[in-house]
Amino acid sequence: MEAAAHNHFALRCESLVRQPGFKVSADEVESTLAGLLSLAISFLAGFLGLGSIASKVLAVIEKVRAMVDKGIDTAIAWIVGKAKALFAKLFGKKDEKDKRTEEEKTRAKLAAIAEAEKLIPQEGLDEQEVRGKLGPIKERYKLLTLNLVIDSKQEQTETVHFTASASEEEIGKPKQVKTAAAGPVTPVAVGSWINNLKAGANSYEQVTSSVSTKRRTAAGVETPVNFLTAAPNGGTNTLLYKDEGVTWARSNFSHGSKHAVPVGNGKFVLRVSERGSEFIRPTFYADTSSSRNAVVRAKLPSLLNPSNQKEFLSEGDPSAEFAKGYKKDASTGKALVPVSDASPDHFPPIAQHWTGGGGNNASQAMRQSWNNNTGTYQIMSLQLNLSLSSRGARFTEEVGINFKGPGE
């Protein structure tokens, strides 16, 4: 049988080669090699006495081949699928059709134009700035175009409108914008002061930038439109040059106190040698042992213990006084303190009045009036007063523009 198969294989090969215009296809080569493999296996099986094992081996090979072919087909399908997805991601949007109705497109175009028109200021148009903000609006409304069109430019105004297209172009209504103020503008100097007339008389602010925005006049000349200021209270403002004399005025303001040093942004601080409790209390409040003794003399008579004139009823916290060793008055629940231990305590603390109560932005007379007012004090034991100190308050080094020292 093996010899017959061998002869058949040889004759098949010879017939293929002798054919005119000899050209062997892949299928023919595969078929011929399969026959050769069968022949070889049959020969070996016969030599080893294994009988019809050739057919079994070929059956196994066919199964393996089917599995390999299936795996290859699956891999090819996966690669093709990924390639299609990639091409769809890169180029698919260009081919996508806008499925919106014409009515929906018109609404989108008009909404985009309305949003774009909000970018137009009442005065001083910056074309480049406006055009730079149109892209996100165009994308949001899925438009093909969204453009700013300059219709005309006059001495005092310029007229513009927007166009938008999704399929057919939609044209917005013309809008008129005032051009920058005519005539030369003299910028205010950085560091100088202006008077904010809208905030009231003597509301001074310091210039931090002399030109915040520039606009092009009809003649093509750039001119400053507004400038920036810092207020002493920490706020900032943007003021228009065209409003000079209406909302603001130039000023030659300088601080009225020799104790104040400018530090920029509308701020002033005390000189380094004049900061802290040791200087501020006696200098800017006239708070001395003499002034405190006067307060004790004024308040103590009304606090004396009726049954013992050598004691007074403390205005301090009773529990804190008891902790210092003073006894409790049975009728009032307050601590009884010897008159010799009486001490006046600012309430609120003087540091709190200076930093948060306006003391650092007031006149000397106003601070001294507060300090001499008996209602500002509580009479307590000296021990308790010393333990309270400033109750966590501190003396800030900053002073306001209205601050005045002694004799100022």
Give 15-73 pLDDT, tens digit per residue. 544 555 444 444 554 555 555 555 555 555 555 555 555 555 556 556 655 565 656 66
Give pLDDT, residue 331: 93
Q: What is the pTM of this model?
A: 0.48
Task: Name residue 306's amino acid.
Answer: P
Task: For residue 286, give the 3-state DSSP assignment.
Answer: coil
Question: Which distant-in-sequence residues (6+ apart) come within 8 Å of 182 by Cβ?
Answer: 155, 156, 217
Phi and psi, residue 399, nearest 5°: -135, 150
CA distance 317 to 223: 66
Kindly give the residue spans of alpha helices, DSSP state H, lying in 119-247.
127-132, 134-140
pLDDT tens string 337-389:
999 999 999 999 999 999 999 999 999 999 999 999 999 999 999 999 999 87
Task: Give the HSE-up count for residue 303: Cα atoms under 13 Å, Cβ half-sphere.
Answer: 25
Domain assignments of the chain as residue spans, ordered by start: 2-79, 102-178, 193-253, 272-399
pLDDT (average), residues 127-137: 89
Of the listed ranges 80-84, 170-174, 288-292, 354-358, the one predicted with least confidence: 80-84
Q: Which of 149, 167, 147, 160 is nearest to 106 (CA)?
A: 167
| Cβ neighbour number for residue 390 with a 10 Å cutoff | 16
Closest CA to 277 of 201, 352, 336: 352
Closest CA to 144 of 170, 119, 118: 170
Rounded CA separation 157/180 (Å): 8
Nearest to 228, CA basis, from 218, 237, 220, 219: 237
User: pLDDT averaged over the chain?
Assistant: 81
Residue 98: predicted pLDDT: 81
Write down the pLDDT at residue 184. Answer: 76
Q: What is the mean pLDDT of residues 163-172?
A: 78
CB 313 within 8 A of CB 332: yes
